[in-house]
Amino acid sequence: MQFNEMKASSKQVMAGIRWVLDFCTLLLLATLVVIGWVNNGALAEGLSDIGGEQMVLKPALWLGSLYLLIFLSETWLRLKENTAAK
């Protein structure tokens, strides 16, 4: 009985850690995009120190959109689960 409870709680802890890591990755990728746009609208100048527009911004936008979808779906499932439990 205690083993099953520990197994269930460890799954919840790992899901929470994964959710937080997805959010941190989303913030990192959003920061890269903001760095590109803040520098007077010139993306190439803002990102020239770390590889330029083609090397950084486009992959950051693609990965950021995927992580945004993952994060939003997990958040929606968590909220749905909490309202169903009440």
Are the CB atoms for 28 and 20 separated by under 8 Å?
no
Give the number of domains in the chain.
1
d(CA 37, CA 32): 9
pLDDT tens figures, 42-69: 656 656 666 666 666 777 778 888 888 8
Expressed as residue numbers, the domain containing 63 is: 2-85
Say what the pLDDT of residue 54 is: 63
Q: For a pLDDT cut of 90, what percent of the chain falls above it?
A: 0
Over 70: is that where the pLDDT of 7 sits? no
